[in-house]
Chain A
């Protein structure tokens, strides 16, 4: 595995590079940063967004209206499978007021991992809703925190009212091999979804 700002993607003009975007979502404290850090070096990305809408404008001392901004920090990392084949993982900003970022993040994404903390399962409802509405393939990864009661994946599935084809897996966000297995589950799920979509397309 390689990472760092100076990495090359190869010079073979015959092969177009393939970059894959995967989102890591879930409530605040569900283990998003930990899980990205378990499989790759974490890089920080910030966005400074001008706010609009009610409450977005503040008066400064001379009375000239000034636009307020909000800074959102996001974690990301990348995993190089081989030259010209690279996965990018993006941790989604947790709080709902940063949802303006989600559209840009989700556009063109292969899929998403929704990290669930069974002590606060409701925290991942918004993520599940978001990905369901966009028909973006996702898996639910139940982060087994120390001291958290173990839950059967099927209990989590029914509590979240998930479609039967959505994989629910247990994971430990600190463990590289565990996070890797979650990513593999997502990629296989996304592949099945793509194959179904193509089959439906050829029958139409």
Chain B
């Protein structure tokens, strides 16, 4: 097979798959070239033989799609939880480092007082937040 036949065969493939129009040059070539005319015929025979593999499929699309939605939701939830956990770790690390550096720089007493204040405020704030959430939900 020479270079010309290689090019023509690719053109024949394009024509067979309707990507190109058959022109006179190619027509003349396949009339005179046995290899290329055989190639063109083989495209038709491949199509005929391969048509057996046009499967009829069992249709359980709904089941698989619904399962996919469930899996996708789970994946999203896990992803969200991972992000939230990472954020929590980051914020915690920032607070701890601020507290430690403040204590080292001589603000130990202030840090201690702030911690006591925040601990004594939480029994008041947490129930208030809970009530607010309940009101929001009932609205």
Are the chains A and B members of one assembly? no
Give me the interface of A with B, judged by CB distance under 8 Å: none
